[in-house]
Amino acid sequence: MADRIALIDYGAGNLQSVRNALAAAGATDVAVTADPDSVAKADRVVLPGVGAFAHCMGALSAIDGMVAALEQRVHREGAPFLGICVGMQLLADEGVEHGSTQGLGWIGGTVRAIEPAPMLKVPHMGWNDVVVSGDHPVVQSGEAYFLHSYHFDATGPADVLATTDHGGPITAAVARGNILGVQFHPEKSQSYGIATLQHFLEWAP
């Protein structure tokens, strides 16, 4: 039986593109959902995100029971989880865009503004290398599409799975156990992105 994928709809994600990319990667049962009960029954959970940290966290928290369902299904029961862009940033302890906003706190760190560097623009936009440290079954080194002005400053170096370079190393992926977050957009990263999603669908942490 195909895994049930809960693609969380909280008004802050590029849902149709992510759904199409998951289908291209082989997913056959993707529920775009704002229903905590659907999340509680899902085999895998995907949290997209586009926009400001505070807005996204507020929108997610505004769905009655959603954060609790995520805590239960992912954090306690160990369902494989993928956060994309701001969905990855929400894993942090806090974001400091427009003041301090508490995140999910699943992976220690703070989401901070990217510091401008000579000859480099913010936002960090376009194709860039993903350099993986160590070995992980989902994210591998390659080239992906990025679009962000804030980055995940992780507390523990062991939680940083991959980096990219934009005036210095910037976190491209974080991982801890069954929890994975990518700063890049798999749905915009062509063959590399589809391969990443295929690996996620096959992942058995």
What is the set of active-site residues? 85, 185, 187
Which two three-digit tokens encode residue 24? 């291209």
Evaluate whether 21 touches 7 at the Cβ level (below 8 Å).
no
Using the Cα atoms of residue 147, residue 59, residue 14 and residue 74 in order, give the sign of their dihedral. positive
Which residues partner with 142 through β-bridges? 130
Concatenate the DSSP letters of all residues of 43-82 into one string.
SEEEE---S-HHHHHHHHHTSTTHHHHHIIIIIIT---EE
Q: Are 149 and 124 within 8 A, CB to CB?
A: yes
